[in-house]
Amino acid sequence: MRVLVVFVGRPGTGKTTLARLTSAVLSAANLRIDAIEAAIVRSGLADPPFTPVGYAIAHEVAAASLKAGVHVVVDAVSADPAARAGWAALAAEAGTELRIIEVQVTDPEEHRRRVEARTSDIEGLMVPTWAQVLALVYEPWDTDRDGQRLLVTNDGQPTETMAKIRRYLGASERRTSS
């Protein structure tokens, strides 16, 4: 069975690194909202902020990939309940398993250091400043409203966090190898 894995959390928490590693583990398509939005900027179709544009495109690509039998890993802040509900609706429509992983950095100074040290790895992508990360309205997760998710604290090395993610995805990994 296919799986839709969605990494959510504030910018600078390590979602992209963990999503790439997870995509490799699952041999999955990797959809990064930042990459989609950077392509929109390069094409001249829109300027930031995009709000739902990048998400709408990611949903369509994810739906097509799932329909083709490909596992999908999404890297998206998903700061509000509507964005989170969209992933759940997509999984339900595709008849696939949904695994959400919320990524946090518990030490504010470490989080700030990571954000301020970031450079863009995509042409046209402007990484947010620390002030922009703090200003982002990130609605706290509510299991009743947003559904189940694995909360990981990405304070150490990604390999440590990946061990937790691999355990969480264990049932999905077994299904992909059969």
Q: Evaluate whether 22 touches 150 at the Cβ level (below 8 Å).
A: no
| Distance between start and end Cα atoms, the chain | 9
The CATH number fitting domain 3-177, selected from 3.40.630.30, 3.40.50.300, 3.30.110.60, 3.40.50.150: 3.40.50.300
Question: What is the 8-class DSSP label of residue 168?
Answer: H
pTM of the model: 0.91
Q: Enter the tokens of residue 138.
A: 């990130």
Question: pLDDT value at position 49?
Answer: 65
- The pLDDT profile of the chain, 178 residues, written as one tens digit per residue, is 899 999 999 999 999 999 999 999 999 999 999 999 888 888 877 776 666 888 999 999 999 999 999 999 999 999 999 999 999 999 999 999 999 999 999 999 999 999 999 888 887 677 889 999 999 999 999 999 999 999 999 888 888 899 999 999 985 444 444 3
